[in-house]
Amino acid sequence: MSAAMQPPHDKHSHRLNARKVAKLYGLSLAACARAIGFTPENLRSHPDAIKAQGPLAQLVHAWNVLSEIFPGEGAAQKWLHHPNRRLQGQTPMQLLQARGLPAFTGLIGELDEGYYA
């Protein structure tokens, strides 16, 4: 996470806040909710829901991995939004939104482990 980025936790509950996690990725709360398998209405009323903590933690972990691999200012965002040959021209963000969290975290895991080509 860049130094300027606010921690993605709720200041009262200290749990991950879906609005802040969505902001890391440049997503709307609704798009983030759908990507992690929740309804937008649920996360809108409870952005720090206990049931959402696991999937939100996976997104934060993926963001941290991307920030290490692409350390320059905006470099992780650029990679997320750039069409990718391995994804048949889709961007990693399109993969997240179309196929969900498991496909996205699998891609990030491959990237982290060096299996990504």
Q: Please check whether residue 5 lies inside any domain of the structure.
A: no
Per-residue pLDDT band for 6 (boundaries 50, 70, 90) equals low
Is 8 a member of any domain?
A: no
The tokens of 17 are what?
């806040």
> Does residue 95 fall inside a structural domain?
yes
Residue closest to 46 by CA, chosen among 68, 27, 12, 18: 18
Tell the residue number behind the tokens 């952005």, with chain if given: 47
Mean pLDDT over 36-42 rounds to 93
Averaged pLDDT, 14-20: 95
Residue range of the domain that includes 106: 18-113
Is position 89 within any domain? yes
Q: What is the pTM of this model?
A: 0.88
In a domain, 44, yes or no: yes
Output the average pLDDT for the chain: 90
Q: Give the alpha-carbon dihedral of 45, 51, 54, 60, to 10 degrees.
A: 10
- pLDDT at res. 4: 43
For 59-105, what is each residue's pLDDT tens digit?
999 999 999 999 988 999 999 999 998 899 999 999 999 999 999 99
Across the range 10-33, mean pLDDT stands at 94
Residue 8: predicted pLDDT: 87
Is there a domain that residue 10 lies in?
A: no
The predicted pLDDT at position 116 comes to 62
Q: Is residue 33 part of a domain?
A: yes
What total of structural domains would you count in the chain?
1
Q: What is the mean pLDDT of residues 30-48?
A: 94
The SS3 of residue 16 is: strand
Per the domain annotation, does 84 fall within a domain? yes
